[in-house]
Amino acid sequence: MPAHQARSQRTLELLLDAAEAEILDKGYADASVAEIARRAGCSVGTVYRRFRDKTALLHALDERWSEAFRATMEDAVAPERWQDAPILEVLTGYIEFTLSEGRERAALHRAALTMASRDAGFAERQMKLAAELHARLRALLVERVDEIGHADPPVAIEFALEQLRSMLLVRLVALPLDGPLFAGSDEQFIDQALTSVAAYLKLEARPA
């Protein structure tokens, strides 16, 4: 890579790192382009030469996070990782992975979720990533369909995964409120979420 391209890429990464730190510290609404420039050690003009506005910066951050999440997800839900594991163990891994990946950047996810209601780019990226994860989880559960006592396992799998996704979304990015999705430890949340899903799926022990 030529030296000027390397410098340009380095500047871009510094700007994105600075923007992420600023948003995580203050939230998207209060994040300042001037402060992002200060954190990156560059001028405000440099920021605007790269990005037309703060929304464009958020797009770049969301794209960077999505790619990082996708790479980590590939390992987290790889079939060989869960060979011979029962459904509840697979779902525990999914919940723990999502909580771990999402919590440190909750302010970014909250901002992207808010923007998705008026910017198709954010919505499309979120839906595509969710669909990829959903498809991989579905495949893992279908392989374990003999554990499911529900009368319609394919429908039950879809509903259970959507139920968990919704609960995780609320716990990670919704504004703090009272209630079991917000209060308590992650261990308590995981226990209650799995209890709910297990009852719905009517999980049964695998035959020996």
* pLDDT tens by residue, 13-34: 999 999 999 998 998 889 999 9
How far apart are the C-alpha atoms of 133 and 76, rounded to whole Å?
10
User: SS3 for 146?
Assistant: helix
Residues 41 and 81 occupy one common structural domain: no
Q: What is the pLDDT of residue 101?
A: 84
Query: Which residues are within 8 A (CB) of 187 and not within 5 positions of it... i.e. 6 or more apart?
Result: none
**How far is C-alpha 119 from the chain's CA centre?**
18
Average pLDDT, stretch 116-132? 89
Whether 113 and 190 share a structural domain: yes
Kindly give, in sequence order, each residue whose CB lies less than 8 Å from that of residue 90, ignoring residues fewer than 6 positions away: 82, 137, 140, 141, 144
Q: Which residues constitute the domain of residue 43?
A: 1-51
Average pLDDT in the chain: 88
Segment 188-206 mean pLDDT:
88
pTM given for the model: 0.82
Look up the CATH number of the domain holding residue 10.
Answer: 1.10.10.60
Is residue 205 pLDDT above 80, yes or no? no
**How many structural domains are present in the chain?**
2
Residues 89 and 6 in one domain: no
**Least confident range of 19-23, 76-80, 85-89, 177-181:** 177-181
Cα–Cα distance list, 121 to 56, 146, 154 (Å)? 11, 39, 31
Residues 35, 68, single domain; the answer is no
**CA–CA separation, 96 vs 177, rounded Å?**
21
CB atoms inside a 10 Å sphere around CB 199: 9
Element (H, E) at 78: none
